[in-house]
């Protein structure tokens, strides 16, 4: 409800006509309305509407400019090049959790989906005609290359790549092992190079494609007990930004869409072991995997680039705040992840 009120108050489509009605309309129209309001509040109401209109216009302009920038300075967003029943999507980590929900949403639109995972397909994905499963260890460059060839042979060149696979190994910095660090960095971050190297060339040739990355709100804040996870997600943000720059200035192909999704705490296998601590720390109920998946698929179907923030909207601004504000924000996460040397959420 609060969000609805906020969006209405800052909507120029609401405040503009209302301001005109109270201050600019002919007296025969304006006066009957003003008579219903206490005279002593007339000036304050009109002044407030002017401020709300100005803020709403600034907000609208900011969104337009941000959308323009996200889409690599292209105004024209030609959705006609996308025929969903002919598109092929590849999703890593699509067997369970958020990935499985994304797969179902894509298939519902007629898109053929190649699920790349080391885990077998979950029961909810069994028996779907447009779902193909490919067992692959994405930490192996050779395995990714072999699987990509199999996908192209079976389904054709993919036009959509969703780098969704990820794990979370929760441990304090002093308890981290070389094996654990290599595993989480290879799966969460390094694998992005392998999949993009395989599937981007076909997109460049057609000047059409969409590459989406599943990051996290942890990309913006370091949390005690999850330094490894936070580092990989911050790395994904840097990878996404660099990919955007290369598409524009190295490959001269801004037509290829790129998106990154940063969800907050979401109810998946990754959060099972830390959910009690989050609840004890006063965190709101975990977001559902379906909510995240719906936002991801909505972005793909809109054929637009962008950053999807599913959590506090001001999180990306954290790094620009004074140090004491940043540290207070980080201190607020101190009790979120209670770990010892052996606890994990992978």
Catalytic residue numbers read 229, 233
Upper half-sphere CA count for residue 165 (Cβ side, 13 Å):
28
Helix (H) or strand (E) holding 162: strand 160-163
Burial level of 252, CB count in 10 A (0-12/13-18/19+)? exposed
Q: Cα dihedral sign for 135, 237, 215, 306?
A: negative
Q: Can you tell me the distance from the alpha carbon of 2 to that of 4, in angstroms, rounded to the nearest whole number? A: 5
Gap between the Cα atoms of 172 and 152, Å rounded = 42
Q: Are 246 and 240 within 8 A, CB to CB?
A: no
Ramachandran region of residue 265, left (φ > 0), alpha (ψ -120 to 50) or beta? beta
> How many Å from the N-terminal Cα to the C-terminal Cα in the chain?
36
Q: How far is CA 117 from the centre of its chain?
A: 21
**Contact between 116 and 143 (Cβ < 8 Å):** no
- In terms of C-beta density within 10 A (0-12 exposed, 13-18 middle, 19 or more buried), how is residue 107 classed? middle
Sort 228 into a burial class: Cβ within 10 Å, 0-12 / 13-18 / 19+.
buried
* Tokens matching residue 136: 């692959």
Element (H, E) at 16: helix 12-19
Judged by DSSP in three states, 231 sits in: helix
Backbone angles phi, psi at 135, to 5 degrees: -75, 125
Neighbour order of strands in the sheet with 131-135: 131-135, 112-117, 88-92, 160-163, 210-214, 257-263, 306-310
């Amino acid at each position: 409800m609060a969000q609805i009120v906020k969006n209405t108050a800052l909507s120029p489509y609401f405040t503009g006509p209302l301001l005109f009605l109270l201050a600019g309309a002919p007296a025969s129209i304006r006066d009957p309305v003003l008579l219903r309001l206490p005279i002593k509040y007339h000036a304050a109401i009109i002044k407030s509407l002017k401020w709300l209109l100005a803020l709403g216009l600034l907000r609208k302009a900011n969104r337009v400019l941000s959308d323009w920038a996200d889409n690599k300075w292209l105004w024209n967003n030609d959705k006609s090049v996308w025929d969903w029943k002919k598109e092929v999507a590849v999703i890593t980590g699509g067997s369970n959790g958020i990935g499985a929900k994304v797969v179902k949403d894509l298939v519902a639109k007629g898109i053929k989906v190649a699920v790349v995972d080391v885990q077998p397909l979950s029961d909810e994905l069994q028996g779907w005609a447009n779902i193909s499963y490919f067992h692959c260890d994405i930490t192996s460059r050779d395995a990714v290359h072999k699987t990509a060839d199999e996908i192209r042979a079976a389904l054709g060149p993919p036009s959509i790549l969703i780098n969704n696979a990820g794990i979370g190994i929760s441990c304090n910095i002093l308890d981290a092992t070389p094996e654990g660090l290599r595993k989480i960095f290879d799966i969460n971050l390094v694998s992005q190079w392998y999949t993009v190297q395989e599937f981007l060339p076909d997109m460049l040739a057609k000047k059409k494609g969409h590459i989406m990355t599943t990051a996290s709100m942890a990309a913006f804040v370091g949390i005690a007990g999850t330094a490894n996870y936070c580092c990989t997600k911050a790395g994904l943000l840097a990878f996404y930004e660099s990919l955007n720059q290369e598409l524009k200035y190295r490959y001269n192909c801004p037509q290829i869409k790129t998106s990154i999704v940063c969800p907050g705490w979401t109810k998946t296998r990754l959060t099972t072991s830390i959910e009690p601590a989050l609840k004890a720390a006063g965190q709101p109920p975990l977001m559902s995997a379906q909510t995240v998946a719906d936002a991801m698929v909505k972005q793909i179907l809109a054929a637009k680039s962008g950053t999807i923030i599913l959590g506090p909207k001001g999180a990306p601004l954290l790094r620009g705040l004074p140090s004491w504000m940043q540290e207070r924000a980080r201190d607020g996460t101190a009790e979120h992840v209670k770990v010892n040397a052996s606890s994990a959420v992978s």
